[in-house]
Amino acid sequence: MHDHLSTSQNQERAPGIHGSSTDRAGPLPWNHAEARAIYDLPFNDLLFRAQSVHRRHFDPNRIQLSKLLSIKTGGCPEDCGYCSQSAHHDSGLKASKLLEVQRVIEEARQAKAGGATRYCMGAAWRSPKQRDMAMLVAMVEGVKSLGMETCMTLGMLSPQQAGTLAEAGLDYYNHNIDTSERYYPEVITTRSFAERLDTLANVREAGIKVCSGGILGLGEAVDDRIDMLVTLANLPEAPESVPINMLIPVPGTRLADAPPVDAIEFIRIIALARIVMPTSHVRLTAGRTAMSDEMQALCFFAGANSIFVGDTLLTAANPGDDKDSSLMRRLGLTAAPMEEAP
């Protein structure tokens, strides 16, 4: 839908902020050096640039609201260093079975009543088993029948599984690349970076929209964060949704003592994501409970235009509907209606 080599994206390439005389033309992918140059702009210039790009592609005062439900919690065989649901960690989280379809649909109905236009369902799996596919299909069909967009995150998908979910009407599939290819083995050893890209390719080939982003605060360098965004921007088609998470350190995981991310550095990454993927929804995801209202406001100004609503994100805390409603009201932001969601 939005090719990263399109004219609109190439118009966002110049490191400066005045005019477009230095804009590149032609089908050139992003490279690290030019992305780093944009990231390193004076903060005011970077925010001005990002907000200008944002306004060319989106209503700057609309926020897309999604709701995330854990449909199968804990017991995951992957060793992602940040995750409370990994069986490799002693986080105190008990594994559960896949939820019943009707409960998932009822939760979705409540999410829609609360203003969410997209419903995301996540399972702590390395990949779905064939015996689970019928229930997953029923969940997608049930949520779609409510008039909501559907999203799932279930681990790795084969081409056949992606095709089955596409036939059921799945709109989005989330599969984050987490960090740069260089730093990835420091975080996860049970699944390769290439395997993550393979799943994204399978999803795209099946005709499902891609949701893929990463996590800041894993111990990575700034260059790793930039490389993560460059990888996503240079996919054959940039993800329609790009979640940017701030690590929530969980006791019992390998990254429980990871140092917090600097707020200005986080906002710079949001701005860079907006610039290198101008037509993607940039979602401010995990970690918002640790962000001040002012930090979130600057993230919105830098181009973030999607959030998860509700009290929890899978197993992590989230600000909650009242706090989000208050912040959006104070900022003059409104929920994007269904037809404005990507």
Which residues are known to be catalytic? 76, 80, 83, 120, 151, 211, 283
Rounded to 10 deg, the angle between the 43-57 and 32-39 helix axes is 110
Among 211, 134, 132, 210, residue whose Cα is nearest residue 167: 134
Using the Cα atoms of residue 40, residue 44, residue 49 and residue 50 in order, give the sign of their dihedral.
positive
What are the start-end ranges of the H helices in 169-233? 193-206, 222-233
Query: H or E element: which one contains 296?
Result: helix 293-301
Among 334, 217, 342, 204, residue whose Cα is nearest residue 283: 342
* Dist. CA 187–CA 178, nearest whole Å: 9
* Dist. CA 158–CA 163, nearest whole Å: 9
User: Are 302 and 50 contacting, i.e. CB atoms less than 8 angstroms apart?
Assistant: yes
DSSP state of 60: T
What's the token pair of residue 199? Answer: 């799943």
* Dist. CA 304–CA 299, nearest whole Å: 6
Give the strand pairing for 62-72 and 304-308.
Answer: parallel
Rounded to 10 deg, the angle between the 32-39 and 222-233 helix axes is 120
What's the token pair of residue 147? Answer: 């008039």
